[in-house]
Amino acid sequence: MFDIGVFLNGIVEISKVVPKTLLLAMFILLLALIMGAFIYLIVHYKVPILSQVIVVLQSFLRGTPNVVLLFFMFAALPELLTSITESLGIPFDANKIEPVFIVILTFSISLSVFQSEIIRGAILSVDQGQNEAAHSLGYSFWQTFRKVTLPQALIAAFPDIMNSLLVIIKGLSLAYLFTVIDILGQAKLLGGFTQRYLEAFAAAAIIYWVLCVLLTKIANKIEFKMREGFN
């Protein structure tokens, strides 16, 4: 019933999209971190209007499933872009946007609010005495941030950031709904091709599992190295 040969072949075939999935996930994480940093700054410095908008956005993104967001963005974004470009008189067919861009945008926006919380927590976790020591030695605001706050906050944030990477990798399985081929997408194609869905999905599950275990191990190694001397 379970064809080991098909399963192993599935592992090999699906593995081919792992690098692409990883790259995509890391790119989304990077964007989410950059946006998260801006969100943190807006909230921290209580920028009028923007900080209120963010509060609503945060609550909205927390309360909506990613699938819904993806469907919404796929419906809304092309129309929005088309109406903008039309009013500007630029010839542009928004329906030709690569789906992968919409996936990247949706995921990075939805994750950015969580990244901003991670950043906030990490910065708060830095002992105030560390900053005071830098100030007392004559470090400027930026020197204190760059040399003391940031490196120590990074250590604190690292496990959460790596966890976000795993969340993205698993979440990207939704992207197959929009023709972006990741691990699950590849498995579905393979299953259709061989008519052996069980083996194909089993292979996909195993690959997800191994990938996450490996990434966790690597993350632990890096974290251990970062925490050297840090109790």
Partner 1 sequence: MLSIKDLRLSFKDNEILKGIDLEVNKGDVVTLIGPSGTGKTTLLRCINYLEKPAKGNIILDDLNIDYEKITKKEILALRRKTAMVFQQYNLFKNKTVIENVMEPQMIVQRKSRKEAYETSVEQLDKVGLIDKLESYPSQLSGGQQQRVSIARALALKPEVVLFDEPTSALDPELVGEVLKVIENVVSTGMTIVLVTHEMSFAQKISTKIVFMDKGNIVEEGSSKSIFEDSTNARTKEFLNHFNTNKLNVTKEEVYA
* Segment lying near partner 1 (by CB under 8 A), choices 43-51, 56-64, 113-121, 131-139: 131-139
What size, in residues, is the chain? 231
Structure tokens, 200: 């194909």
* Cβ-contact 130, 148 below 8 angstroms: yes
* Segment lying near partner 1 (by CB under 8 A), choices 33-41, 90-98, 137-145, 193-201: 137-145
User: Does position 136 bind partner 1 by CB under 8 A?
Assistant: yes
* Cβ-contact 80, 90 below 8 angstroms: no
User: Does position 135 bind partner 1 by CB under 8 A?
Assistant: yes
* Cβ-contact 111, 32 below 8 angstroms: yes
* Segment lying near partner 1 (by CB under 8 A), choices 19-27, 128-136, 157-165, 194-202: 128-136
User: Does position 170 bind partner 1 by CB under 8 A?
Assistant: no
The least distance separating partner 1 from the CB of residue 229, rounded to whole angstroms, comes to 3
182: left (phi over 0), alpha (psi -120 to 50) or beta: beta
* Segment lying near partner 1 (by CB under 8 A), choices 16-24, 59-67, 150-158, 216-224: 150-158
The least distance separating partner 1 from the CB of residue 101, rounded to whole angstroms, comes to 38
Question: What's CA 2's distance to the chain center, in Å?
Answer: 35
User: Does position 155 bind partner 1 by CB under 8 A?
Assistant: yes
Q: Which of 83, 143, 179, 220 binds partner 1 (CB under 8 A)?
A: 143
For partner 1, the closer of residues 74 and 139 by Cβ is 139
User: Crossing angle, helix 99-125 and helix 66-88, to 10 degrees?
Assistant: 120
User: Does position 223 bind partner 1 by CB under 8 A?
Assistant: no
User: Does position 129 bind partner 1 by CB under 8 A?
Assistant: yes
DSSP percent split of the chain into helix, strand, coil, nearest 5:
85, 0, 15
* Segment holding 218, helix H or strand E: helix 197-226
User: Does position 63 bind partner 1 by CB under 8 A?
Assistant: no
Nearest-angstrom CA–CA distance, 165 and 3: 32
Binding site for partner 1 (CB under 8 A): 127, 129-130, 132-140, 143, 147-148, 151-152, 155, 228-231
